[in-house]
Structure 1
Amino acid sequence: MPNILTSDHADDFRAELLTLPAGVASVSFFACPSLYSRRTPQLIRRSDPEVVQVAICLRQTIGVSQRRQEAVIQAGELFVYDTSQPYQAWMSGNGDIARMGVVHIPRNALPLPAAGMQRILARPLSGSRGIGAVLTSFLASLASQGATLNASDLARLGGVTVDLVTTYLAHHIDALQTVPGESRQRALLMTIYTFIEAHLHDPDLAPNTIAAAHHISLRQLHRLFQQEDTTVAALIRSRRLDHCRRDLENPTLQHLPIYAIGARWGFADAAGFSRSFRDTYAVTLGEYRRAAYTSRA
């Protein structure tokens, strides 16, 4: 897609670019010290892929201007711009490196009203709460792990990407009723997974508290997990044990008693923690920790 690009570092311009094809969408991550981008009516007439772009500022600041709207985007915030309309954008590292991620989705793949989309162009959108936090976490994970994913992984993640972006944008333009039920369900499931991961340390984390936090019934929660090859309780236990296993291997945490490691990941009962670990890994907590230290010696 043609744009006019300039930079304050044109004499020694260095940048990083990672592009990930993900089904009907694609995701790209870009880093540089500074960049100014301009898309003019002439360039749009020459080539227009008719794509909606949802961008996240990962580091430093980004500026964007479209349809007489202008905003400065801080790290952790998102914004939307449209390739079919002129825009200007800039990245500034403020003496460092600026980083951003962009989800590119064909406009016809987003079942959202055009008028609503126009209202949110070039405006800062929160990425710190609810579905925004889930989308931000998802994109940050892609930024760090995307280069290790194979084509089949990326194809599967493409549907997740579109579902999350669609639900996120629908939330901001009050158009959730236009999002297909399956997309809303998958986005809700991703939100629940993120919530569970963020609250593993809480010993009160349980199916009933998760359902209440997401304003759904306990029955609805269990129904969501019917196709996940696990239960909510089993997922919580598995994720807690995985974190505990890593902590037992961590030499910087060797001063912590074993029961304290369990407690920091939500195992309030030391005996229950010991039994769950042994049942899962076929070894006691003490044996696992000693073996981890021996292998590093």
Structure 2
Amino acid sequence: MGHQQPRTVFDSDAVPHSARISAWSDAVSRLLVPLRFTSRSQTIDGRIQELRTGEIRVIRCTASAHMGTRTPALAGGRGASQVKVAMPIRGTLTVEQDGRRMTLVPGELAVYSTSQTYRVGSDGAFDFAIALLPGDMAEDLEARVVDASARPIDRAAARGLRDALLGAAPGAAHDAELIADRLRLAVARARDVASAPSRRARLHEEALEIIERRLSQPGLGPQYLADALGVSLRTLYAAFAGSRRSVAATIRARRLERARDLLSRADHDDAAILEIAAEAGFDDGPHFSRLFRREFGAPPSEVRRRRLG
């Protein structure tokens, strides 16, 4: 299941004053991961809405001042090895992890790991969204998040990830992949805000990384890359302006190289040419064969024949 109509799953008005911290804790534990909650007022007033369920979960909380702590004992238990994204909507939100402390305002976000201790909350009433994502949705993601936790994130990358998680991003068909790519991008940009020339070079490098990861997906194209990187098509094209190939030509060339590599591997000797094409991201066999011949001077079947002798 993915995006859905917001559904209220907890409202403190239905709970006696003295039991509200405990009830809030139970609700958050059920929806996300266990935390220990404290409040100077000895209560937590507010409500929790589910914005998204399934592998990627998102809740929105409107609440009085409080702090949630992932203690050492909790960090090693249920809900470990996952990634959280904190996004303030109104008021400020403070995130602490790995000796770093960051106070966010609306429009900013922070990423952090559930496998390490952390604190998240506010000294005043606030409205915020929290996303919970599986740590294995991208290679080495959890380790990268630990290094990036509670660090400032490039605003463009933050906006792209926030829009994807809260449902403002286009293209629901590749929703999970888009979120994974935008999360990696946000984590990679958590350290510095580069100058304009180096931003362009970095964007080109990040686009190439996504191309390699998504090469087998027919939907990979300039628009997907622009969506994943959180930039306009014009900005994406500008990042490739100084390279030998355009965006589309780069994707096509890498797919053809992937197909040639597969044809040269013994473990693919029994695979049909159409299967090789599909694994390289082509969904039209005759079109693949024409492009392959044009690029390498021989059809795929001939390349395979030469290898087999």
Q: Which amino acid aligns with 1:157?
A: D
1:138 aligns with 2:164: yes
Matches within 5 A, 1:200-279: 209=234, 212-216=237-241, 220-221=246-247
Matches within 5 A, 1:62-211: 62-92=93-123, 94=124, 97-112=125-140, 116-127=144-155, 129=156, 131-142=157-168, 156-172=174-190, 176=206, 181-183=212-214, 188-190=225-227, 195=232, 209=234
Distance 1:169 1:91 in 2: 23
Which residue of the partner structure matches residue 255 of structure 1?
none
1:42 aligns with 2:60: no
Shift of 1:14: 1.7
Shift of 1:55: 2.1
- Tell which deviates more after alignment, 59-68 or 132-141: 132-141
Distance 2:36 2:173 in 1: 31
Which residue of the partner structure matches residue 6 of structure 1?
38
Greater helix fraction, Structure 1 or Structure 2? 1
* Aligned partners of 2:185 and 2:229 also within 8 Å: no
* Aligned partners of 1:51 and 1:84 also within 8 Å: yes
Shift of 1:89: 1.2
1:74–1:12 CA distance, 2 compared to 1 (3 A): closer
TM-score under structure 2 length normalisation: 0.52
Distance 2:174 2:144 in 1: 28
Shift of 1:43: 1.8
Q: Higher relative contact order at CA 8 Å, sep ≥6: structure 1 or structure 2?
A: 1
Shift of 1:86: 1.0
Distance 2:39 2:190 in 1: 33
1:7–1:190 CA distance, 2 compared to 1 (3 A): same
Q: Which amino acid aligns with 2:146?
A: Q
1:10–1:218 CA distance, 2 compared to 1 (3 A): farther
- Provide the identity percentage: 20
Unaligned regions of 5+ residues in structure 2, if any?
Answer: 1-32, 192-201, 253-309
Q: Which amino acid aligns with 1:37?
A: G
Which residue of the partner structure matches residue 290 of structure 1?
none
* Aligned partners of 1:111 and 1:178 also within 8 Å: no
Shift of 1:223: 6.3
Unaligned regions of 5+ residues in structure 1, if any?
Answer: 144-152, 197-208, 227-297
TM-score under structure 1 length normalisation: 0.53
Distance 1:43 1:61 in 2: 25
- Tell which deviates more after alignment, 153-162 or 81-90: 153-162
Distance 1:81 1:194 in 2: 24
Distance 1:99 1:183 in 2: 35
Shift of 1:166: 2.0
Distance 1:59 1:5 in 2: 20
Shift of 1:167: 2.6
Q: Residue 15 of structure 1: SS of its match in structure 2?
A: strand
Shift of 1:72: 1.1
Shift of 1:219: 7.0
* Aligned partners of 2:144 and 2:187 also within 8 Å: no
Matches within 5 A, 1:49-64: 49-64=80-95
* Aligned partners of 1:101 and 1:139 also within 8 Å: no
> 49, 53, 65: which is aligned to 1:21?
53
